[in-house]
Structure 1
Amino acid sequence: MLRAVYHQLARSTAWYRYTTPWSGFHSTPQTIVKGNMKVKIIPALDDNYMYLITDEETNITAAVDPVQPDKLMEDAKKDGLEISMVLTTHHHWDHAGGNKEIAGKIPKLTVYGGDDRIDALTNKVEHGSQFKIGSLSVECLFTPCHTKGHICYFIKGKNEDEDLAVFTGDTLFVGGCGKFFEGEPEQMYNALVKTLGVLPSNTKVYCGHEYTVSNLKYALHVEPENTNTVNKMEWAKEKRKANVPTVPSTIGEEFKFNPFMRVEDECILKYSKCSSAVEAMGFLRSEKNNFKPKM
């Protein structure tokens, strides 16, 4: 039954060029193509996502947060791809824990990251660092708070107005954000609103975990009358029933239903009883840390 629902959904969604068979993981892998940028979403662990990013002109491929290298390399091999670089968002084990293993299996692998605590790191990056995945352009965005060295990767295809994606790790989720393990509310405000929030609204957001339904439960607690959130929740529940990923969203969409992106909005300031967006960010994160939904 789930397979039938999944295939019906996949056929009706324009972003999906094709899908891979039912995997037994928490989600079914998906491949999304926009221009010369191909992104394969690969589930890992209980709720993580790994990614393969391929420049279709050169077939050069990068992996994002390959916590389960064997699974990732198997998918790459099936698709006729050879991984030549790793983009690590942060040092936590469920994102960087596979780096040593994959580096030991792929000679001359380049491993990017913004934190010396990242295993097998070869190329340390900072805000504004740039490199290429074939003809795809990569810009590193420093987004400290979840961890001190967190990096998001903003990628442009040949059509720089349309072929856009950002890999946000545990900074920005669909409908939520990461916990402030090594930072303060002001840092997350800057990361979400001032750094990621100024990217083009059609930039696809590929995050590190499948947390969407849980995040939207809190978003509806904050703004129960927000029709954007209500509609997104209905959509997300249908996707999850079919084991289909709820990623990607877009930056523009996040401003419509993600309370952590909406901290400058009067509705959020009123709800939090805060006078500034930074205060509201701290209030929301603190409240969500202890939030237990009724539904």
Structure 2
Amino acid sequence: MLSHSNSTDQGRFPEPLVCTVGCLFDNLAYLIICPESRECLLVDPGEYYPLIRAVGEQGLKLRGVCCSHHHRDHIDGLEELLADFPGLLVYGHPADRNRIPGMTTPLADGDTLRVGRLRGQIHHSPGHTRGSCLYRFAGALFTGDTLFTAGCGRLFEGTASEMYHSLQRISRSFSASTRLYPGHDYAQTNLEFGLALEPDNQAIGRQLSQLRTARDLGRGWQPTTLAQELELNLFLRCAHGQDLSPLLIAAGALEPGEHGAELVFAALRALRDRW
């Protein structure tokens, strides 16, 4: 049974099983599975067939869809799912009420939802879009296009200040062991950007080397943790309070004397847009 409430107390609930499903070119969608009931939620259905195949192959009972935002590459499979599963619950932020087809259950920041014995919570994270949001289930955080491995989303509707504060909230609100599940696999490009800006960062260099080796061996994308991202991710480090202005001055993205965390963050995002 799926339900929702506005309680912010997660309490003690089991960890979800998470199945990653590649969609389109580099989108990542997910099945959040209750290990006891085999009920599941689907995160960001960018493509119908890979997801419905995964649900069927694992013998799952699909109960709802969690939408991180309204962009088509994250919801293109939704209408076919609704045709096959009448009454399917569709979650998203109220800002996307008229932009996500068939949304049944708008959730405000802090509202909770359940599937089986799992409980999740929505966190509004504007910046990429007005309605961008995260979904947390125990130690798993589904970040849509707000936070990627070693990167963050472009600013389409929001501002650099909004994205800065959304990332700051992530860096300060969740445990270091939280596993991060983003909406795209941009890991290699983001790590290459980070290493170009900070060539002496051994953690970034090591992670990039490991990623290239894994891909040569045919291994797919794997989640990172918040602790890893606070080491690797320039955007998250900036939002967490690290001064990256010397790197950006050296790259010609800031003038000497320009300072302020949000200004530095905006310059970093603009540099990544041009890279």
Query: What range is the shorter-chain TM-score in?
Result: 0.7 to 0.9
* CA shift in 2, pair 1:147/1:118, >3 Å: same
Q: What does residue 269 of structure 2 align with?
A: 285
* CA shift in 2, pair 1:218/1:269, >3 Å: same
Separation (CA, whole Å) in 2 of partners of 1:153 and 1:85 = 13
Q: Secondary structure at the match of 1:72?
A: helix
The CA deviation at 1:239 is: 2.2
More deviation in 170-179 or 93-102?
93-102
The CA deviation at 1:285 is: 0.7
Separation (CA, whole Å) in 2 of partners of 1:258 and 1:196 = 11
Q: What does residue 245 of structure 2 align with?
A: 269
Q: TM-score, normalised by structure 2?
A: 0.87
Deviation track 1:7-33 (CA, whole Å, cap 9, x = no partner) reads xxxxxxxxxxxxxxxxxxxxxxxxxxx
Separation (CA, whole Å) in 2 of partners of 1:247 and 1:207 = 10
Deviation track 1:221-265 (CA, whole Å, cap 9, x = no partner) reads 221111110111011112222343333111111000100011121
Of 196, 199, 209, 1:221 maps to 196
One-letter amino acid matched to 2:68? T
Separation (CA, whole Å) in 2 of partners of 1:130 and 1:109 = 17
Of 79, 84, 106, 2:85 maps to 106
Of 43, 54, 69, 2:48 maps to 69
Fraction of identical pairs, as percent: 31
Separation (CA, whole Å) in 2 of partners of 1:277 and 1:246 = 31
Q: TM-score, normalised by structure 1?
A: 0.81
Unaligned runs of 5+ in 2: 1-13, 250-257
State whether residues 61 and 83 of structure 1, in contact with CA within 8 Å, keep that contact through their aligned partners in structure 2. Answer: yes
Superposition CA RMSD, Å? 1.3
Unaligned runs of 5+ in 1: 1-34, 157-163
State whether residues 63 and 115 of structure 2, in contact with CA within 8 Å, keep that contact through their aligned partners in structure 1. Answer: no
Separation (CA, whole Å) in 2 of partners of 1:243 and 1:102 = 30
Q: What does residue 124 of structure 1 align with?
A: 106
Q: Secondary structure at the match of 1:260?
A: helix
Equivalent positions of 1:1-295 (< 5 A) are 36-114=15-93, 115-116=96-97, 117-156=99-138, 164-263=139-238, 264-266=241-243, 268-273=244-249, 274-291=258-275
Q: Secondary structure at the match of 1:74?
A: helix
Separation (CA, whole Å) in 2 of partners of 1:142 and 1:245 = 29
